[in-house]
Structure 1
Amino acid sequence: MRKSLLALSILASVLAAPLAQAYEAGDIILRAGAATVDPHESSSDIWVGALNTDVAGTKATLDSDTQLGLTGTYMISNHIGIELLAATPFSHDVGVKGMPGVFAGLNGKLGELKHLPPTLSVVYYPLDSASAFQPYAGAGINYTWFFDDKLSSEAEGKGFSGLDMKDSWGLAAQLGMDYLLTDTLLLNASVRYIDIDTTGTTSFGGEKVKVDVDVDPLVYMVGLGYKF
């Protein structure tokens, strides 16, 4: 009987522990995990200088990538925090599709690029600070820095030269949740939308080739966090 009471007491202590883990003004919350950038790109038709026109039905494409995502949040009150998102560089293949007729050979992988998406957000935690489960919503501003843009050897062999992607400013929004395992350790999952608009330029046959791309990715992140 005493063993049962002891076991129940320990279990009750474990379950009750998160109640002491309140998010409070002055707390710092660091999170790290796998972050996947999944572009939902929409591009204009590709403008080809050699033809001096947009080529109807052509598009630019980007693939997904997963890297280490990092966030740091400073709680300015029990319910509101300021969050900075950072990550290791994301890498994406850039492709061309829809080129017709004699230009069909230009379809396929054009090159690759890397980017960093630092995002500053205001985050709101609606539940009582004593709750172990802490859903949140946030909104802020993103700056996407594109770098290390380069053509594939196949594209260079087809007559392309140079690749440049314009940096982007845009709004961002997110939904997420924390579950506090101890006074300091937590599980985290989030999804965010980032408005990323860029212009890509290259040249073909000595003439400029240009396309406007709304990248607009969803960014999924799952990881662990630590509260100071």
Structure 2
Amino acid sequence: MRLAPSLHRIGNDIVAVYLVDAPDGVTIIDAGLAGQYTELLAELDAMGRTIDDVRGVVLTHGDSDHIGFAERLRRDHGVPVFVHEADAARARGEVSTKPEWGHMKLGATAKFLWYALRKNGLRTTPLTEVVAVHDGDVLDLPGAPVIIGLPGHSPGSVAIHVPSVDAVFVGDGLTTRHVLTGTTGPQPAPFTDDPAEALASLHRIAGLGATWVLPGHGSPWRGGVEQAVGEVERAAAASGA
């Protein structure tokens, strides 16, 4: 799906992956679920691109529903995969996480689990090799992605700012569709290691001025990053978080 010139999304509001299309190639933000690989190929074809145009995958963090087809790209096509140093072990499958599920609604949770099952979410291949990045890095990839540390959801969660497409990709730093309740709108994401730290970290992106805020789960937000952060803070306060 084309969101804007040079900005594309595959997947849906349950699990999303983004592509930045630049003259020097394509950067993929997150790698979703393993079964979304066929959607990636279809989107690249619609863009007039191929796998050979992909210069790198940048992960917002190392959770299984964000690394899905990353190892396949790395192993079969030599595409480097970038992740914050603090989440490198997580992306390699060396750290087991036991997230708190919190409040759930049966229908929304079942939809999330069924979609993950259909897209091979239970057969995620961990990364064998990663390129470690750090807060403040500007990557030599199409779009010149800027890494902004956003710890809380995981120790190495990051936001990825791409000024050329007026977007900040936030992974699970916030969500616009809670996968366990179905509630829509900017709000804290579930399965977060440290909810208070995650909320505080959002101040690091509030001044970016980006129009697009693109989460790993939920609809793309086009109301500006400042408004999105404000909505998350209000939602957190209303829930007592």
TM norm structure 1: 0.25
- Tell me which structure has the larger Cα radius of gyration: 1
TM norm structure 2: 0.24
Greater strand share, 1 or 2?
1
Task: State the structure with bigger RCO (CA 8 A, min sep 6), 1 or 2.
Answer: 1
